[in-house]
Amino acid sequence: DFFCSPKFTCAIGDFMGERADTLDFVPLTEEQPLGNFEIFKQYTELVERQLEEFIRSEGLTVKDVCDACMAAQSSESHMHLAAIDYLVASTEYESFMQLAYDHACMKFYEPDEQTAWDPEGEALEAAQGSAQAV
């Protein structure tokens, strides 16, 4: 739950919002800019601080967290996937760059009428589905 919590995800989102634009996205097969690696190290430090604070506040061990992550990966719930990606991105440069690229792309994403959220339409669809089930 911690990895999906607003405290953790907002810290990641804020970090990416501030730094993703400063990364130089070049193919990973090419030489990587030193500035990218510096930002990767800052991201790693952010995740480590968040994780250490959580472990300390909950009275857990690193093994407890690792065991919970492994259990989450093998569970049928898919809520863990993004959270695990955030953690993996703090240990693998390539995963970090993919996460940062995804964040940078989302900044320019503009929903249209097919992708925009329509809470009233969603409620209507749910009501129609319930009526059909009866």
Number of domains observed in the structure of the chain = 1
**pLDDT of 113:** 67
pLDDT in tens, 67-77: 877 777 676 66
pLDDT (tens digit, 0 to 9) for every residue of the chain, 134 residues total? Answer: 787 888 998 999 999 999 998 999 999 999 999 999 999 999 999 999 999 999 999 999 988 887 877 777 676 665 556 677 888 899 999 999 999 999 888 876 666 666 566 666 665 565 665 555 44
pTM confidence score: 0.73
Q: What are phi and psi of 116, to 5 degrees?
A: -70, 145
Burial class (CB in 10 A: 0-12, 13-18, 19+), 123: exposed
Q: How far apart are CA 51 and CA 66, in angstroms?
A: 11
**pLDDT of 134:** 47
Which residues span the domain enclosing 12? 2-130
pLDDT in tens, 6-27: 899 899 999 999 999 899 999 9
23-55 burial: b if 16+ Cβ within 10 Å, else e: beeeeeeeebeeebeebbeebeebbeebbeebe
**pLDDT of 52:** 93
Q: For residue 123, give both structure tokens.
A: 């409620």
